[in-house]
Amino acid sequence: MTHATPEQIGQLTLVFERFTRRFKVAEAAAAAANSLNALDVQALLFINDNPDCGLGDVARNLHVALTTMSSTADRLVRREMITRRRPEENRRSVALALTSKGVKAVEGYMAGYYDACQAMLDPLDQTDRAEFVRLTQKIADYEY
Amino acid sequence: MTHATPEQIGQLTLVFERFTRRFKVAEAAAAAANSLNALDVQALLFINDNPDCGLGDVARNLHVALTTMSSTADRLVRREMITRRRPEENRRSVALALTSKGVKAVEGYMAGYYDACQAMLDPLDQTDRAEFVRLTQKIADYEY
DNA sequence: GCGGTATACTACGATATTCGGATTATTCAA
DNA sequence: TTGAATAATCCGAATATCGTAGTATACCGC
């Protein structure tokens, strides 16, 4: 199949640059509410998606040094948002998991996303909403 | 007009959480290429959208302390990506603008966004692409 | 026009974060 | 069993963020 026209892509780029900015605000608000920094939030989200992952997994995925992630984990453990477990099957590694407090933080974070998405759908009529959701699903499905 | 259904919003939330993660990677890559941190990049983008804005404008928009933005501006000036001008009409303030080097950095950053957007449009057929772009435009138009 | 207040930013010091290099502990493989 | 590879931690240096205090300029009521 042929690519989209440069004009289409350009238009989308401008719009999405705005969209992501809006999402960043939601992110910053949720982070501030828990007095977490941006990296901590990203780590929480990753651990939520990948329970019992190791520090290296998170560090590679978020493109930060392993030592940085170790510090981040220290912080999150201190704030009782995650647990560090030494699994019997590989005692070098750690298995990170969210505590109930961590789950709550992630929920608050997703709630901000939810609000931002609601605001996006508001200006559309019923037909366009269904269409927009359908298209985003189609894109998302394709990528995984 | 009535709101979208919770199910619609929920679906969109999940998808956009993925989308923004993809955009964050593009952002991080561009930032690393110029050895800038996340805040510096955000500031550059804001100044690009709002030429001759003041430090306070940027700080409020990005939700950081004014002093932090002052430091960021120091960095960006030192790297010759922006200029700090004292406008005659209000000599307390500063007017920030991108240098050609700053423009280039923003372009590199937007190029990452462009690629991400192209990847989003790829899985759609011609009709759906036009429709998707139309809907995102509609949402964006509504908000400003 | 004048004094007081508000605005816009900068200087500086305290605290926190990120990272690289060295180190420890565990697993794997020859 | 020894050596190499893996996973994480400890420590120190460089940097970033922020709050408080300070400086300069603009505005406003009189």
| Segment B95-139, tens digit of pLDDT | 999 999 999 999 988 998 899 999 999 999 999 999 999 999 999
Q: Of B63, B28, B29, nearest to B46 (Cα)?
A: B63
Query: Given pLDDT bands bounded at 50, 70 and 90, which one contains residue A143?
Result: low
A111: contact with B, CB 8 A cutoff = no
End-to-end CA distance of chain A, in Å? 19
At B19 the pLDDT is: 85
- Does B111 lie at the interface with A, CB-CB under 8 angstroms? no
What are the structural domain ranges in chain B? 6-142
Report DSSP letters for B51-77, one per residue.
TTB-HHHHHHHHT--HHHHHHHHHHHH
Query: What distance in Å separates the CA atoms of residue B28 and residue B109, rounded to the nearest whole number?
Result: 9
Residue-wise pLDDT for A75-114, tens only, equals 999 999 999 999 999 999 999 999 999 999 999 889 988 9
CB of A138 closer than 8 Å to CB of B123: yes
Question: If pLDDT is split at 50, 70 and 90, which confidence band does B1 have?
Answer: low
Tens digits of residue pLDDT in B19-78: 887 788 778 777 878 888 999 999 999 999 999 999 999 999 999 999 999 999 999 999
pLDDT tens digits along A48-67: 999 999 999 999 999 999 99
Give distance CA B79 / C1' C11 (Å).
21
Position A68 confidence tier, pLDDT thresholds 50, 70, 90: very high
User: According to the model, what pLDDT value does residue B144 have?
Assistant: 54
- Report the pLDDT value the prediction gives residue B52, as an integer from 0 to 100: 97
Overall average pLDDT of the A68-80 stretch? 97
| Residue A144 binned pLDDT confidence (cut-offs 50, 70, 90) | low
Q: What is the CA radius of gyration of chain A?
A: 19
- Which residues in chain A have Cβ-Cβ distances shorter than 8 Å to B32? 63
Q: What is the DSSP letter of A52?
A: T
Taking the CA of residue A129 as centre, how many other CA atoms within 13 Å lie in the half-sphere pointing to its CB?
A: 22
Residue A15 · residue B110 · CB < 8 Å: no
**The domain B6-142: what is its CATH number?**
1.10.10.10
What's residue A29's pLDDT? 76
List own/partner pairs for A84-91 with CB under 8 A and 24 or more apart: A85/A52, A87/A52
With CA atoms as reference, report the closest residue to A103 among A123, A88, A83: A83
A135 and chain B in contact, CB less than 8 A: yes
B140 Cβ nearer than 7 Å to chain D strand: no
- How far apart CA B106 and CA B34 sit, in angstroms, is 10
Kindly list the distances between the CA atom of residue B102 and the CA atoms of A109, B2, B25, B112, in Å, as whole numbers in the listed order: 32, 44, 20, 16
3.55.40.20, 1.10.10.10, 3.30.470.10, 3.30.360.10: CATH of A20-143: 1.10.10.10
* Positions 34-93 in B, CB within 7 angstroms of strand D: 37-39, 64-65, 67-68, 71-72, 75, 89-92
- Sign of CA pseudo-dihedral A48, A51, A52, A54: negative
Q: Measure B140 CA to D2 C1' (Å).
A: 65
Q: How distant is C1' of D24 from CA of B95, in Å? A: 16
**How far are the Cα atoms of A55, A94, B18, B75, B84 from residue A85, in angstroms, in the given order?**
11, 5, 28, 41, 50
Start-to-end CA distance of chain B, whole Å, equals 19
Query: Distance between CA atoms of B30 and A49, rounded to whole angstroms?
Result: 25
C-beta separation of A123 from B142 below 8 A: yes
Q: Please name the amino acid found at residue B45.
A: L
* Average pLDDT, rounded, for chain B: 92
Average predicted confidence (pLDDT) for chain A: 92
Which SS3 state, helix, strand or coil, does residue A35 take? coil
Question: How is residue A22 written in tokens?
Answer: 């809006």
